[in-house]
Structure 1
Amino acid sequence: MNSKGSFLILIGCCLPLAALSLTCYTCMFPAISPLDCLKFPQECPTGQRCLASTAVGVKGSVHIVLYERSCALPSQCDLSGEKHAAGISFNYTNECCDTDLCNAAATISSPCWTGAVLSLCSLAFLLQLG
């Protein structure tokens, strides 16, 4: 076999390894609806998927939606359940995808900026109580 053929075999063997890791968006911190988080591309460890998580919390008349983006182990994908933070119960849903930057979009539940400001103020108030 000539050196050109050896080089092509070497390249062919290495390409599948490079394709195993994804680039996903990650949030510096979770965001409150209708604002999306500040997303940054991050290379995930091999075998991880892109995660988009939404958590909805209600305390009295306050309704809060949090968005988070990150890399995730497959065991964290397609889950839903309940988390507790600052005295609020949040129902969360984790959804995963397998292409670069596929976890970009947040589902915006309310286009009203007034609702976002009220949610931020309410969350700050609840954090002070908790």
Structure 2
Amino acid sequence: MDIIRAIEAEQIKKDLPNIEVGDTVQVYYRIIEGTRERIQVFEGTIIKIQGESSRKTFTVRRLSYGVGVERTFLLNSPRISKLEITRKGKVRRAKLFYLRDRQGKSAKVKGRTNY
């Protein structure tokens, strides 16, 4: 098992910020279409973080034209070119699934000022 942990340790990115559930983030994701490559920004609130080490994933939710869109990203994926935290959130839960049922102001997460 030590061989597997050693391989996983090589694949972990060191330059990522410390993200938490409730944070509003911008994920710069590289999309490959045929021979072309472009970067698409996905901005939303982190509602779930799961896994550990190189298998860590996080789910980002945003509203797009009144429809909720969720996308799960691998934290250490080579396709993520940049990850920016735009706002820190103050939450009391590990998973924010209750945001799926809410719209408008009730779907907002309180901001944290001391970070």
- Give the structure-1-normalised TM-score: 0.26
More helix by share: 1
Scaled by the length of structure 2, the TM-score of the pair is 0.28
Structure showing greater radius of gyration is 1
